[in-house]
Structure 1
Amino acid sequence: MVSDASRSGAARGWRRRASGIREVEHQVRIRGIPLWVWAVAALLYAGMAAAAIELAWNRAIDALAEAGAHQLDLYGASLKSELGRFEMMPAIVARQDSVRALLNAGPHASPALVQGVNTYLEAVNQEAGSVAVDVIDLQGSVIAASNWNQPLSFVGTNVSYRPYFKDALARGNGRFFGIGTNTGIPGLYFASAVRDRGKAIGAAAVKISVDELESAWRRPNEAAMVIDHNGVIVISTVAAWKFTALRPITSEQQREIQASRQYAGRLVEPLQYRRIGEWGASAWLGRFPDPRRPGHTTRYLAMSRPAPQAGDSIMVLLDVAGARRQQELALGFVTGGFLIAGLYALYAVQRRRTIAEKLKAQDALRRANDELEATVAQRTAALTQTNERMQQEIVERKRTEERLRESQQEVVHAGKLAVLGQMAAGLTHELSQPLVAIRTLCDNARTFFERDQPAHAITNLERVSRLVDNMATLTGELKAFARKPVVERVAVSLNEAVAHARLIYDARIRDEAVQVDVRIAPGTLVCAEASQLQQVIVNLLGNALDAVREQEQRVITLEATESVDNSRVLFSISDSGTGIAPEVLEHLFEPFVTTKPRGHGLGLGLAITSRIVEAFGAKISAANRDEGGARFNIEFASAKGVVDGR
């Protein structure tokens, strides 16, 4: 038999070898995980963080560019509306017999004639709300003006050097933006030639102020401006930028500006900005002086397009600070995900080490039992003690697993909140068309009030109220992705829902020359909820308009047929577009699936539409037509039985 001393020496040698092995392993591992795993995890984190930051930036800037395009549309429309109010005024004044008589009489005009023309111009100016209305002879002298009785009267002022006067005599009409030499007030001038027997005998001019336009354009985190053909900012929501140039002014241009006294003798200085990058074909990034913090700059997304006035352009600058916050949020999500994954990995390694140590303890116990021929009582005591330790470890392991499950549930909940946050951004896509309709109806209402037609204006305002109610209903649809809403199904007229959708897109249908055919029998009723059914048709009609926008033949057909037993109504909307790609068709009603270019939608419209239709107890499907284009079908439960009492 082996002696106790020999067994003790062998045990000590085995422990020294095991200790040496553990020291070597510790040199290439951190907390039980190899160094190469940590390196791979670090590289993966860096890559995913960079990708998330880039994706968040692109999505935020695309959304900003889409908002900027809408702003440019609004500014262009308001500028065109403002100019249209006054553009014909000089021509109307030029047709007055008294104005022609005054110009023909010249210096020999009677005081009564001069007084009559001055009074007429004063009345026209007050009625139109312009700054001044003038009559100018062939030598460029103002011989009658609306402000004839004011201290800074224009009567006697010579404006022969002004381009609007020269253009009016040469081409029949003129247009010019400049600072008044008498008042120092900037404004826009319109002029028309006064003709007698086909010959120009003078000109009529009107000056309007742009202060109200600048005030209406002012918005937080945004700057809007109008730039003339010389590259000079003539209208701006930032006062410090007015009459500065966005591009270098040549010496010849400076001479022309000084000759016309366009800016009252001011030397045009360049605006100190820096272009730092392009964004697509219609936008770019730049740093502009911060008007609120002298010496600092702010990064903007710049977008521009031609203005209604020939040679001018409208530019809008959008602060990109929100995009930076989106990047920080994306980085936070990626970092949180990796921290959770890292904690789980450490837990798994620790658990594995615990199990390995238990196995080693069991092996040591068996060897000890083999080597030491202890009594049955000693072996039983040792086994009992080991079993107790194992029970305690099992209890601890169960507690650890319970904590892990709780952590996993928190991660799932955080993921839900992230998805809901992204869905909220989709409201921009879904609300854009109603907002345009509201703006159009409000402008028309204001015009009706100005024309003393309150009945028409009230009708427009009632339509605006209905659109606002529908927009409020739309925002509630965000909850549909989190829980199934409670919908009260009643009998709803399909004809009224379609008429409501056509009203929202009426301007777009007319401007894009789209042929909309409605083939729905009067009195067609379906089981649904009125406002949500209207939203479904608005979404589908908007997608159809997008599909036919670039087509030569723009046709959209809405039709409804009832089943033989009058229990179901099949409603369909089809278009003459290019159809839906097969790989997209099978996922069409899933969130964030879209066929539109980047920056033109988030892919939430059809997902919301599908949830609404399912809440009606109806079915929605999509397919490509054999003759081209796409068709969306909704099978409703007919509501005729409810109305008839069956």
Structure 2
Amino acid sequence: MRSFVHARVCGVPLWGWLAAAVLYAGLATVAMEFAWQRSVSAIAAVGGYRLDLYAASLKSELGRYEMVPSIVVRQDSVHALLRERTGAQPTLLHAVDTYLAAVNREAGSVAVYLIEPDGTVIAASNWDQTLSFVGTNVSYRPYFKDALANGSGRFFGIGTNTGEPGLYYASAVREPNGAIGAAAVKISVDALESAWRVPAEAAMVVDANGVVVISTVPAWKFMAVRPITPDRQTQIQASRQYAGRAVEPLPYQRLGDWDTTGWFAQFPDWTHPGRYKRFLALSKPAPQAGDSIVVLLDVAPARHQQYLALAFVTGLFLIAGLYGLYAIQHRRAIAEKLKAQDALRGANERLEVTVRQRTAELTSANARMSQEIAERIRAEQSLRDSQQELVHAGKLAVLGQMAAGLTHELNQPLVAIRTLSDNARTFFERNQPAPAIANLERISRLVDGMALLTGELKTFARRPGVERVPVSLNEAVNHAVLLVESRIRDERVRLDLHVAAGTTVYAEPSQLQQVIVNLLGNALDAVAPEAQRTIAIDAHEPDEHGRVLFTVTDSGAGIAPEVLAHLFEPFVTTKPRGRGLGLGLAITSRLVEGFGARISAANLPEGGAQFRIDFVAATVQGTANG
């Protein structure tokens, strides 16, 4: 219970929200009830004006017809016709018919006619029309009975001949001996109903039976607004007041009283069939005795005013609530700000201490980092030096492998030089200078060849720099072939060279030569056990992408699949133990990558292996660098 009391929503205690909700509900109820009463009072005032207007128009419209029968009964020809009855002259009957037609035309009524005491119509204004009243018996009609008994009669009903509703007035034709007949007039109420029609309203006249006889809603005519007893239903059927049709109740529901003159009810909505609508019903006695005028007024505007009142109260509460929440939040923000300032001061103090500590740590860390950077720079330099040493070691290893061949290549010229020099001395002793000079020239050529070979060895063995320049692939291949030429010749290997003239790639000259020598050395090792020993070197002109494909293909047994996947890793070799360390292809791969090229190896379907190097053409590289 305690936690419930102290519970808060948006900083406001829960009991505060409950109190606000109760206050809102009370004010909203009062405001809606006030708006309802005020709006309904205004609607009722309008309805009162409507009732007065309808009553005045009903009295004015029907009152001018009420005197028509009284005027007709004063006509001498009417008395003469009723006295003679069946023995009347045709001329007299025609004169009365003509007179009645003139009266009907001037009055604007439906029909004016003359009735015998037995209820038979003997003359009428519509004597010459198809639906003439002449010959019709109306003895059952209350207006005729009341006229003979009381001198005048009034009745609303549906015409027997025409089937059209109307209002009937009748006056007795009297002579000293009593009533000898009656004169009657039928009036249409269609014009009156049209004049009463107002949007969202309905007006009707209810007769003494409780039946709607005049209505701005045609579907409601001749329906009862209150229950009709069986005896009264029998009387209505006998009088044929409604042309013999059964009177059905009007389907409406009374909801409650407004005051002594009005009540609320649910009536069918004539603008939307099948629906019901709430109305304020006001009634007033009609000028004719026993009738009443009822007007139905739509209360939707009053309901709308209720919604406006609810919206107004809701808006006020929202504004007040927002203002209250703003005030609470503002106070909380101030408190939080003060609290944050205190926290900030504490944090600043702690931060200063932390900054001093971290500054000392960073100073120490920077010193350690500087030392580590220097050590890393030295390590990288040492690594580069080691890589160069490794490359140089690879060259020396190749030179060691070529030592025997080089010794043979140098021994032959040296023996020839010794022989030629001895022969030259002998020729000079014999005073034969020409042969001696020829021997000396041959010795010079042999020395040039030896110098060329040793020069290639010197170039191959020296430590390379790191500069990458355009290198002629033809020259690099020729220099590499010269270094292993003795082995190619001694091992009877056929070498096929197909290097396009002028092919230039981007590389370091001595490293490129070392790469080709390594690949040629591996190829020579691969074809050594074979009967047919062939090595092919191919290089084509640059393709459309500026690449040069260089291949070295041998006719050996190929590379084992388990070795092929790791061929360019250090210490991976296919040579017998003691004949290789497995560094040659690893060094070759690193050198090729340094050129910006790619090296790969594959076994050929027809046998043998092929090494491919995808170089960047020097012209393309030069353009990119330029």
Q: TM-score, normalised by structure 2?
A: 0.54
* Corresponding residue to 1:308 among 276, 280, 287: 287
**Residue 233, structure 1, aligned to residue 188, structure 2:** no
**Residue 324, structure 1, aligned to residue 306, structure 2:** no
Q: Match of 2:92, SS? A: helix
Q: Match of 1:101, SS? A: helix
Shift of 1:360: 3.4
Deviation digits for residues 489-547 of structure 1 (CA, Å, limit 9, x no counterpart): xxxxxxxxxxxxxxxxxxxxxxxxxxxxxxxxxxxxxxxxxxxxxxxxxxxxxxxxxxx
* Corresponding residue to 2:48 among 66, 69, 94: 69
Q: Match of 1:325, SS? A: helix
Residue aligning to 1:341: 320
**Residue 119, structure 1, aligned to residue 106, structure 2:** no
Shift of 1:79: 0.1
Structure 2, unmatched stretches of 5+, are 357-626
**Residue 253, structure 1, aligned to residue 232, structure 2:** yes
Amino acid at match of 1:110: Q
Residue aligning to 1:106: 85
CA distance in 2, matches of 1:154, 1:281: 44
Q: How does 1:578-597 map to 2 (within 5 A)?
A: none
Deviation digits for residues 202-233 of structure 1 (CA, Å, limit 9, x no counterpart): 10000000000000001100000000001000
Contact 2:113 2:183 in 1 (8 A): yes
Shift of 1:88: 0.7
CA distance in 2, matches of 1:365, 1:153: 109
Shift of 1:356: 1.8
CA distance in 2, matches of 1:26, 1:51: 29
Residue aligning to 2:37: 58
Amino acid at match of 2:102: A
Residue aligning to 2:332: 353
Residue aligning to 1:434: none
Q: How does 1:373-388 map to 2 (within 5 A)?
A: none
CA distance in 2, matches of 1:299, 1:38: 36
Deviation digits for residues 82-126 of structure 1 (CA, Å, limit 9, x no counterpart): 111100110110011110010011100000100000000000000
Contact 2:142 2:153 in 1 (8 A): yes
Shift of 1:48: 1.3
**Residue 176, structure 1, aligned to residue 128, structure 2:** no
Q: Match of 1:190, SS? A: strand
Residue aligning to 2:28: 49
CA distance in 2, matches of 1:314, 1:264: 23
Q: Match of 2:296, SS? A: strand
In our comparison, the structure showing a higher alpha carbon Rg is 2
The percentage of aligned residue pairs carrying the same residue is 68
Amino acid at match of 1:99: V
CA distance in 1, matches of 2:41, 2:164: 39
CA distance in 2, matches of 1:223, 1:301: 10
Q: How does 1:239-318 map to 2 (within 5 A)?
A: 239-318=218-297
* Corresponding residue to 1:151 among 116, 130, 134: 130
Q: Given the superposition, is the C-alpha separation of residues 274 and 26 from structure 1 closer, same or farther in structure 2, using an over 3 Å criterion?
A: closer
Shift of 1:198: 5.7
Q: How does 1:462-541 map to 2 (within 5 A)?
A: none
Q: Given the superposition, is the C-alpha separation of residues 332 and 138 from structure 1 closer, same or farther in structure 2, using an over 3 Å criterion?
A: same
Q: Given the superposition, is the C-alpha separation of residues 334 and 76 from structure 1 closer, same or farther in structure 2, using an over 3 Å criterion?
A: same
Q: Match of 1:174, SS? A: strand
Deviation digits for residues 144-177 of structure 1 (CA, Å, limit 9, x no counterpart): 1000000111111111110000000100000000
CA distance in 2, matches of 1:31, 1:104: 101
**Residue 84, structure 1, aligned to residue 63, structure 2:** yes
Deviation digits for residues 381-412 of structure 1 (CA, Å, limit 9, x no counterpart): xxxxxxxxxxxxxxxxxxxxxxxxxxxxxxxx
Q: How does 1:202-213 map to 2 (within 5 A)?
A: 202-213=181-192
CA RMSD of aligned residues (A): 2.3
Residue aligning to 2:562: none
Deviation digits for residues 346-373 of structure 1 (CA, Å, limit 9, x no counterpart): 110111112223343566688899x99x
Q: How does 1:124-139 map to 2 (within 5 A)?
A: 124-139=103-118
CA distance in 2, matches of 1:368, 1:178: 100
CA distance in 1, matches of 2:73, 2:337: 105
CA distance in 2, matches of 1:38, 1:347: 15
Tell me which moved more, 243-252 or 27-36: 27-36
CA distance in 1, matches of 2:91, 2:259: 63
CA distance in 2, matches of 1:325, 1:174: 48
Q: How does 1:438-449 map to 2 (within 5 A)?
A: none
Shift of 1:277: 1.1
Q: Match of 2:270, SS? A: coil
Amino acid at match of 1:30: V
Q: Match of 2:267, SS? A: strand
Residue aligning to 1:593: none
CA distance in 1, matches of 2:91, 2:97: 10
Q: How does 1:215-226 map to 2 (within 5 A)?
A: 215-226=194-205
Residue aligning to 2:560: none
Count how many residue pairs are aligned between Structure 1 and Structure 2: 352
CA distance in 2, matches of 1:368, 1:228: 94
Q: Given the superposition, is the C-alpha separation of residues 123 and 25 from structure 1 closer, same or farther in structure 2, using an over 3 Å criterion?
A: closer
CA distance in 2, matches of 1:175, 1:26: 78
Deviation digits for residues 12-39 of structure 1 (CA, Å, limit 9, x no counterpart): xxxxxxxxxxxx8996111211111111
CA distance in 1, matches of 2:137, 2:5: 94
Residue aligning to 2:179: 200
Residue aligning to 2:454: none
Amino acid at match of 1:151: T
Residue aligning to 1:187: 166
* Corresponding residue to 1:38 among 7, 14, 17: 17
Amino acid at match of 1:205: A
CA distance in 2, matches of 1:217, 1:365: 81
Q: Match of 1:159, SS? A: coil
Q: Match of 1:41, SS? A: helix
Shift of 1:69: 0.3
Contact 2:6 2:14 in 1 (8 A): no
Structure 1, unmatched stretches of 5+, are 1-23, 379-646
Shift of 1:256: 0.7
